[in-house]
């Protein structure tokens, strides 16, 4: 599979091989390129897992944050800093995303942490993801989606030295509801 990832970063096939070497059972479906959750939904119907949206954000101190949440989760960027212990957040620029994680917009996921050799990115997982039996992410490309058991996601994250912050991202919204 051709890749436009930087030469020192893994591509999708490399990632799937690494998952297999870790003993992670991964189910991958191929589909046309998708850039939004809405575009992906028809393809994801064939994959039994909790599907996600993923954001790479940068705070005022240049800390990078990868936020992964269920597709239906509302993420309030004004409340999020307080939930994760950060300051003002903004979306990371495409060139920073590519240089750090080796992926383009639309392919961001916790799997991309395999390419974060400098460990610049803090991972935040919505608590609902960690409660699901299986979760699905793009495997470094937006032309495929890969589902793994949540326990296997933990195995992968440990293998890349990432200790996620698990937060109920909707808690502040629920507390504010009448």
pLDDT for 171 equals 54
Give mean pLDDT, residues 84-100: 94
Note the maximum CA span of the chain: 52
Q: What angle do CA 62, 129, 59 make, to 5 degrees?
A: 10
Of the given ranges (71-75, 89-93, 170-174), which has the lowest mean pLDDT? 170-174
Give me the count of residues in the chain. Answer: 178
How confident is the model at residue 110, as a pLDDT?
98
pLDDT band at 42 (very low <50, low <70, confident <90, very high): confident
What is the pTM (predicted TM-score) of this model?
0.90
pLDDT band at residue 7 under the 50/70/90 scheme: low
Domain positions in the chain: 12-168
Q: What is the mean pLDDT of the chain?
A: 90
pLDDT tens per residue across span 73-89: 988 889 999 999 998 99
pLDDT recorded at residue 132:
97
pLDDT of 1 strictly over 90: no
Residues 6+ apart with CB under 8 A from 166: 124, 125, 126, 127, 130
Strand partners, 91: 57
**At 92, phi and psi to the nearest 5?**
-70, 145
> Is the domain defined by 12-168 classed in CATH 3.40.50.460?
no
CB atoms within 10 A of CB 119: 11
Mapped onto helix, strand or coil, the DSSP state of residue 103 is coil
Half-sphere exposure of 127 (CA within 13 A, CB side): 7
């Amino acid at each position: 599979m051709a890749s436009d990832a930087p030469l020192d970063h893994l591509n999708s096939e490399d990632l799937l091989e690494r998952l297999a070497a870790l003993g992670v059972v991964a189910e991958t479906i191929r589909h046309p390129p998708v850039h939004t959750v809405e575009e992906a939904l028809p393809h994801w119907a064939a994959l039994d897992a909790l599907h996600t949206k993923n954001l790479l954000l940068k705070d005022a101190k240049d800390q990078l944050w990868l936020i992964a949440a269920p597709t239906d989760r509302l993420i309030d960027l004004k409340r999020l800093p307080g939930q994760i212990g950060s300051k003002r957040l903004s979306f990371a620029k495409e060139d920073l995303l590519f240089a750090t994680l080796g992926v383009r917009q639309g392919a961001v996921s916790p799997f991309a942490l395999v390419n974060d050799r400098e460990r610049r990115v803090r991972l935040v997982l919505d608590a609902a993801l960690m409660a699901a039996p299986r979760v699905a992410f793009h495997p470094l490309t937006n032309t495929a989606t890969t589902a793994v058991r949540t326990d296997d996601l933990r195995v992968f994250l440990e293998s890349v030295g990432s200790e996620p912050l698990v937060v109920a991202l909707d808690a502040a919204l629920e507390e504010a509801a009448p």
